[in-house]
Amino acid sequence: MRRIIIGIGGVTNGGKTTLTKRLIATLPNSCVVHQDDFFKPPDQIEVGEDGFKQWDVITSLDMEAMVNTVTAWVENPVKFARSHGKSRSASSNSDVQILILEGFLLYNNKLLASMCTERYYLTIPYDECKRRRSGRNYTVPDPPGLFDGHVWPMYLKHRHEMKQSGVSIVSIDGLLSKDEIYSKVYTDIVNRFLNSS
């Protein structure tokens, strides 16, 4: 049984979740693990020197639990899928199992990055990112100044660290249409991993 782990990483509001939902709906025998599901409770999130709760740093996430979840999938993808409410597609190639990891700091954790068969990374420029972020409704609303004072600086810092660590990524322009982004990634996955013998 072949196990393929696809990372969908990148900037906040860059289109990661939208792309992931479409891939999960069309790729056979696929499951997803969202990094956002591993945020620590709000009372465990520190306030940084910038005056903001540090949601956009890796210590705000329980990365050990996320790695353990991915490891559980690697050990038994079929059991993992069943326990997460996904049934196997009868018409699909049962020899290939796909896990999609989606999150904003996937590749800043060396172990998680190394577990990925391929790493896609969505980027959008500052102005577009700020526009999209301001249009989102979060459970805990962004306090004034958070984007410029914390979110964007942390994104730049983590992107730089990721590049410095030598993690190999496939960069995707998040300004492309949703259909173009999906088509590009889906076609790449199918051609490289599903159509190969």
Sign of CA dihedral 51, 47, 122, 25: negative
Compute the average pLDDT of residues 55-83.
93
Domain that holds residue 81: 2-192
Distance CA(179)–CA(76), nearest Å, equals 32
Two structure tokens written together for 77: 């993808």
pLDDT band for position 91 (cuts 50, 70, 90): very low
CATH of the domain at 44: 3.40.50.300
Judge whether 150 and 50 are in contact, CB under 8 Å.
Answer: yes
Q: What pTM does this model have?
A: 0.92
pLDDT digits (tens, 9 = 90+) for 126-174: 999 999 998 887 777 788 999 999 999 999 999 999 999 999 999 999 9
Two structure tokens written together for 100: 């999609």
Distance CA(113)–CA(6), nearest Å, equals 10
Q: What is the mean pLDDT of the chain?
A: 91
- Has 36 been annotated as catalytic? yes
Residue 142: per-residue pLDDT: 84
Tell whether 77 is covered by a domain: yes
Residue 191: per-residue pLDDT: 93
Residue 90 pLDDT greater than 60, yes or no: no
Tell whether 197 is covered by a domain: no
Distance CA(112)–CA(130), nearest Å, equals 28
Residue 185: per-residue pLDDT: 98
Two structure tokens written together for 15: 């289109």
How many separate domains does the chain show?
A: 1
Of 90 and 37, the one with more pLDDT: 37
Residue 124 pLDDT greater than 90, yes or no: yes
- Alpha carbon of residue 76 to chain centroid: 21
CA torsion 62→64→65→66, rounded to 10°?
90
Tell whether 176 is covered by a domain: yes
Of 117 and 196, the one with more pLDDT: 117
Among 36, 37, 127, 173, the one annotated catalytic: 36
Judge whether 162 and 105 are in contact, CB under 8 Å.
Answer: no
Tell whether 55 is covered by a domain: yes
